[in-house]
Amino acid sequence: MLLNKRILLIISGGVAAYKSLELIRRLREQGADVRVIMTRAACEFITPLSVSSLAGGKVSLDLFDPGDEGEMGHIELSRDADLLVVAPATAHIMARMAAGLCDDLATTCLLATDKPVLLAPAMNMRMWQHRATRRNLETLTGDGIAFVGPDEGDMACGEFGPGRMAEPDDILKAVIAHFSDPADRPLAGRRVLVTAGPTHEPIDPVRYIANRSSGKQGYAIAAAAARAGARTMLVTGPSAEPRPAGVEVAEVRTADEMHAACLARLPCDVAIMAAAVADWKVVRASAGKIKKTPGKGPPALKLEANADILQAVGGAGANRPGLVVGFAAETGRVVENARAKLKSKGCDWILANDVSPRAGTFGGQDNQVTLVSGDGVEPWPRLSKRAVAERLVARIAEHVSRQVSAAE
């Protein structure tokens, strides 16, 4: 699938570098011509000899190697590639790229290139979550750099969290998707915002109010939108789902944070609000842990309403996305309630789902939805959440292409 595609793989210095050996093998199996640049730190983790053996000898190590610069210098290296892949991309190389630094062969090629760049970040979870890395991620995304991963899981440092490099197979899929036929990417050039998961509303520093949403449906939608070529931004409440490939993920905790993160991502072409946002939050959550006081009984929690994010996006005036899709979680009178929400929230489509325990969809693998729009009511069969996502994205792509034809 990658026959004659020229990939310049940059390996920077992280423990995950060992997975890049497998990536080289997988890329070459698909017919790609792989050239590799290893940073100095990468050579501390894996040897140039292993890389060279797998890449058919095409490894460059240092900017100032007269032999290498003579044979194929940094400009040729970046000009000669169809796609640059940085895997693993450490926090350090991301920071250098965001700042436009070019102090070695890898960063010089990255600055000198006009070719697309795909990054597979890998770092400790706290480094990934650090504000500086968040800022760099935003800068790089704004510069048009694509990302795959990182995943969440056990890390070499003994911690668990987001920051593990995407598996070679997922990086390979992202590379293949990059080269796929534009007809398979009907949302190319579109910006899609997706919300997912529950929100956690703090009671005190250790307790919160939440719901049973797993985030599965929203994550599947974000993955499908990214596969369809959209620049996809997923704003997610706490969820154990792995990060979908090629999606920009913003992790939030509360409804207020989700609200701000969504508004900050407008304008966009399509918004799909699949999050199970808490309707209420505790008025003035306690700064300290609420203690049991003998004879005093349980605390009375005073609640206030959270902002309705879907309504805010649906009524965002000039910033309103061209298509706003909401979900309606109902335990009865599903279609009637969905119709009412369509109106009250100012959205274009509602996917109504029955979340009563007998339907078994909330938190489960399957979903059964009814698409309610101005055009009517369309019940869909019971499908996996992935299939619901594919079908929704296909419908959105159709809608967007109809809008384009109408405008022409």
Judged by the rule CB under 6 A, the positions of this chain that interact with ligand CTP are 195, 255, 273, 275, 277, 279, 306, 308-310, 326-329, 341
Q: Is the CB of 111 or the CB of 307 nearer to ligand CTP?
A: 307
Least distance (Å) between residue 352 CB and ligand CTP:
8
Least distance (Å) between residue 305 CB and ligand CTP:
8
Least distance (Å) between residue 324 CB and ligand CTP:
9
**Whether residue 205 has a cis bond before it, omega within 30° of 0:** no
Q: Any bridge partners for residue 192, and if so which?
A: 232, 270
Q: Is the CB of 38 or the CB of 250 nearer to ligand CTP?
A: 250
DSSP percent split of the chain into helix, strand, coil, nearest 5: 35, 25, 40
Give the strand pairing for 146-147 and 117-121.
parallel
CB 274 within 8 A of CB 217: yes
- Smallest Cα–Cα separation from 369: which of 269, 246, 220, 228? 220
- Copy the structure tokens of residue 7: 């990939």
Q: Is the CB of 62 or the CB of 279 nearer to ligand CTP?
A: 279
Least distance (Å) between residue 313 CB and ligand CTP:
7
Q: Is the CB of 73 or the CB of 346 nearer to ligand CTP?
A: 346
C-alpha torsion angle, residues 16, 17, 19, 25 (rounded to 10): 170
Q: Any bridge partners for residue 304, and if so which?
A: 281
Rounded Cα distance between 203 and 195, Å, is 23
Phi, psi of 288 (to 5 degrees): -110, 165
Q: Is the CB of 257 or the CB of 279 nearer to ligand CTP?
A: 279
Supply the Cα-derived Rg of the chain in whole angstroms.
23
Eight-class DSSP state of 246 = T
- Copy the structure tokens of residue 272: 């799909």
- Catalytic residues, which ones? 157
Eight-class DSSP state of 62 = -
Q: Is the CB of 124 or the CB of 195 nearer to ligand CTP?
A: 195
Q: How far is CA 94 from the centre of its chain?
A: 17
Least distance (Å) between residue 348 CB and ligand CTP:
12
What is residue 316's three-state secondary structure? coil
Least distance (Å) between residue 155 CB and ligand CTP:
31
CB 268 within 8 A of CB 320: no
Least distance (Å) between residue 129 CB and ligand CTP:
24
Rounded Cα distance between 53 and 348, Å, is 55
Q: Is the CB of 162 or the CB of 326 nearer to ligand CTP?
A: 326
